[in-house]
Amino acid sequence: MPADYKHELVGVFGQPVAENPTGVMQEAGFAAAGLNWRYLNFEIPPEKLGEAMKALRVLGMRGINLTIPHKVAVIDHLDELSPEARAIGAVNTVRIADGKLIGENTDGKGFVRGMRLDRGFDPAGKRAVMLGAGGAARAVGTELLLAGVCELVAVNRSIERGEKTVRDLRAVCAGGGAVRFEPWRGTYAAPAWADLFVNCTSIGLYPHVEAMPDVDLSRAKPDMLVVDAVFNPPETRLLAAAKKRGLPTLDGLSMLVCQGVIAFKMWTGRDPDEAAMKQALREALFAADSG
């Protein structure tokens, strides 16, 4: 068989990108699938985003991930948006179909998929509390509502941001589920009615691993699932505290891997080897921790 040295290209545009481990996970998936694809981290400053998006077409790339600070700004450079990305107001994945750049958001979908697969938790009819009102919270809140949660409370430090996010989330559910905002003042006590408690803030994210959301889990019901969007470290102080109380938990690696799995399928049209992707990601993060 003749050699094939041509790579199909995907990657991430962001600033900074040096510590972004997504490529390790995607390339493990490509290798396991026998695909001659590469995932590259591109350091793109905000003023170069427009040119970088044009380069996707010039280089014949198959898609791209967007990370800080481009998730919102990229919308101006796309041909179409998925309904979910439009509702969330941010794009983390672009796929290219018939020459068109289509913006998607796989963060919230990855979150819901991870809960279903890794914990057997179906959000339909459940009552949820979410800490945070930024990009991750908008994605998680949108997909929880689309998956049928009957009640969603967003708890946030900044009132203005919290209220804006809740207004936008109400538009998603269009009366299908109750969404409300609670300002985060002092210790937030997880309510006894909650089935799901999610941290969508960056509290506890490496290198601030000693930070812990100011919450009280003592009233939580015994099967309340506690999930952290923070994936580095995988066991945050919040998850350790929940485990100590015997509550079921799910780490942010699940969401990260699942959103990558969804992007992999959007780009390649194939189902990846999720176990290989997760293993590669864990190894990369643990190597980074000990390095």
- Residue whose CB is less far from ligand NDP, 150 or 211: 211
Q: Identify whether the C-beta of residue 236 lies closer than 8 Å to the C-beta of residue 245.
A: no
Q: Identify whether the C-beta of residue 65 lies closer than 8 Å to the C-beta of residue 22.
A: yes
Map tokens 């470290």 to a residue.
233
**Which residues touch 228 (CB under 8 Å, ≥6 apart)?**
198, 199, 204, 236, 238, 239, 249, 250, 251, 252
71 labelled catalytic: yes
Q: Identify whether the C-beta of residue 204 lies closer than 8 Å to the C-beta of residue 227.
A: no
CA nearest neighbour of 81 among 99, 94, 68, 64? 94
Query: What's the rounded Cα separation, in Å, for the pair 279 and 289?
Result: 15
Query: Taking CB under 6 A as the rule, does residue 26 contact ligand NDP?
Result: no
Query: Taking CB under 6 A as the rule, does residue 161 contact ligand NDP?
Result: yes
Query: Taking CB under 6 A as the rule, does residue 201 contact ligand NDP?
Result: yes
- Residue whose CB is less far from ligand NDP, 55 or 209: 209
Query: Taking CB under 6 A as the rule, does residue 255 contact ligand NDP?
Result: yes
> To the nearest whole angstrom, how small is the minimum distance from the Cβ of residue 205 to ligand NDP?
4
Q: Between 130 and 149, how does the x/- string for binding to ligand NDP read (CB under 6 A)?
A: --xxxxxx------------
Query: Taking CB under 6 A as the rule, does residue 237 contact ligand NDP?
Result: no
Q: Are strands 100-104 and 93-97 parallel, antiparallel or unpaired?
A: antiparallel
Query: Taking CB under 6 A as the rule, does residue 229 contact ligand NDP?
Result: yes
Which among 5-13, 39-47, 95-103, 202-210 is the span making contact with ligand NDP, rule CB under 6 A?
202-210
Which among 115-123, 153-161, 218-226, 270-278 is the span making contact with ligand NDP, rule CB under 6 A?
153-161
Query: Taking CB under 6 A as the rule, does residue 94 contact ligand NDP?
Result: no
- DSSP E strands in 219-264: the ranges are 225-228, 249-250
Phi-psi region of 290 (alpha: psi -120 to 50; beta: other; left: phi over 0): alpha
Taking CB under 6 A as the criterion, the residue among 119, 157, 237, 282 binding ligand NDP is 157
Query: Taking CB under 6 A as the rule, does residue 158 contact ligand NDP?
Result: yes
Query: What's the rounded Cα separation, in Å, for the pair 57 and 94?
Result: 12
> To the nearest whole angstrom, how small is the minimum distance from the Cβ of residue 41 to ligand NDP?
16
- How many positions of this chain bind ligand NDP (CB under 6 A)? 24
Residue 67, classed as helix, strand or coil, is coil
- Residue whose CB is less far from ligand NDP, 196 or 256: 256
> To the nearest whole angstrom, how small is the minimum distance from the Cβ of residue 59 to ligand NDP?
26
Q: Which two tokens stand for residue 6?
A: 């041509």
Q: Are strands 225-228 and 196-199 parallel, antiparallel or unpaired?
A: parallel
Catalytic one of 48, 54, 71, 164: 71
Q: How many residues does the chain have?
A: 291
- Residue whose CB is less far from ligand NDP, 99 or 207: 207
> To the nearest whole angstrom, how small is the minimum distance from the Cβ of residue 252 to ligand NDP?
4
Exposure of 45 in the CB half-sphere (CA atoms within 13 A) = 1
Q: Which residues here bind ligand NDP, judged by CB under 6 A?
A: 107, 110, 132-137, 156-158, 161, 200-203, 205, 229-231, 252, 255-256, 259
Catalytic residues: 71
